[in-house]
Amino acid sequence: MQSQTIQRKILRTICPDEKGLIAQITSICFSHHLNIVQNNEYVDHRSGRFFMRTELEGLFDDERLLADLDRVLPSGTQRELNQAGRRRIVVLVTKEAHCLGDLLMKSAYGGLDVDIAAVIGNHDTLRILVERFDIPFHLVSHEGFSREEHDARMAEQIDRYSPDYVVLAKYMRVLTPTFVRHYPNQLINIHHSFLPAFIGAKPYHQAYERGVKIIGATAHYVNDDLDEGPIISQDVINVDHTYTAEDMMRAGRDVEKNVLSRALYRVLAQRVFVYGNRTIIL
């Protein structure tokens, strides 16, 4: 055995759908004397894919458990077994404080099961806020550097902390493909719009010009297409003709921080499966 203490781990499985998958997976877990604390599954009939999240408790021999699963699961299966519980993140910021402040409070007082290892900004504006929580703040200025050079410097600083995820809490720079590839399905962004509407810069001004009656926010994984990564969480609020673009921006800040927090909660609990450009949340 890898450990003689009771552990809790999460088994995540994506595979071609066929009969008996739940029975096969749970039987293997039973044969390893593991207790199933919670189990959730979903079949996407369009893609013919089966998704399952199994929360397990017991004494684990990870290598043997995964090998036994590989014996019974169909070809093309993706599976992973990770420790349940607290995760480690690095937060990227520019100048806006509302999303960062919410994450700092929830990390400090138990609203999110997360350690914020560091905050990195391309401006120094939020340093005082971060240091009040005894968290390191690093300034990595973009002045005088190309996008590629700046992203390389950012990645160097991030990698010092070996985070599970990198959270863009109103980090207002477009990331290079090299940077995105370096963190596959680890970059989580909050966009101040109900995507796919109003991508890119100044979405509230775009919304005002269109006379919209709802505004919203979208938390999503980052990919190489601007604001088009797999969506994790969204929400909206009602507005009317009396709202200026600035009014919408103020009202939208609460939506943004709530959507980001809700998305991060799901990701940290390992409930979000990425498949293609979609997410399945179990």
pLDDT value at 9 more than 60: yes
Beta strands at 272-275 and 278-281: parallel, antiparallel or unpaired = antiparallel
In the block, which residue shows the tokens 């939020």?
126
Which residues of the chain form CATH 3.40.50.170?
87-281
- What's residue 178's pLDDT? 96
pLDDT value at 195 more than 70: no
Which CATH number is correct for 87-281, 3.90.45.10, 3.20.20.10, 3.40.50.170, 3.30.70.2750?
A: 3.40.50.170
pLDDT value at 226 more than 50: yes
SS3 label, residue 7: strand
Q: Which pLDDT band, with edges at 50, 70 and 90, does 3 fall under?
A: very low
- What's residue 215's pLDDT? 83
- What's residue 200's pLDDT? 64
Catalytic residue among 68, 227, 235, 254: 227
Q: Say what angle helices 245-268 and 98-109 make with each other, to 10 degrees.
A: 30
How far is residue 216 CA from its own chain's centroid? Answer: 18
What is the spatial distance between Cα 80 and Cα 207, in angstroms, rounded to a whole number?
41
pLDDT value at 249 more than 90: no
What is the H or E stretch that residue 266 is in? helix 245-268
Give phi and psi for 105, each to the nearest 5.
-65, -45
pLDDT value at 212 more than 70: yes
Residue 216, strand partner residues = 236
Q: Which of 52-61, 117-126, 221-230 has the lowest mean pLDDT?
A: 221-230
Query: In the predicted model, what is the mean pLDDT of residues 222-244?
Result: 88
* Structural tokens at position 48: 């013919």
Task: Please work out, in degrees rounded to the nearest 5, the angle formed at the alpha carbon of residue 88 by the alpha carbons of 234 and 123.
Answer: 75
Architecture of the domain delimited by 7-83: 2-Layer Sandwich (3.30)
Which residues of the chain form CATH 3.30.70.260?
7-83
Q: What is the pTM of this model?
A: 0.90
Residue 166, strand partner residues = 90, 187
227 belongs to the catalytic site: yes
- What's residue 252's pLDDT? 86
In the block, which residue shows the tokens 């939506």?
255
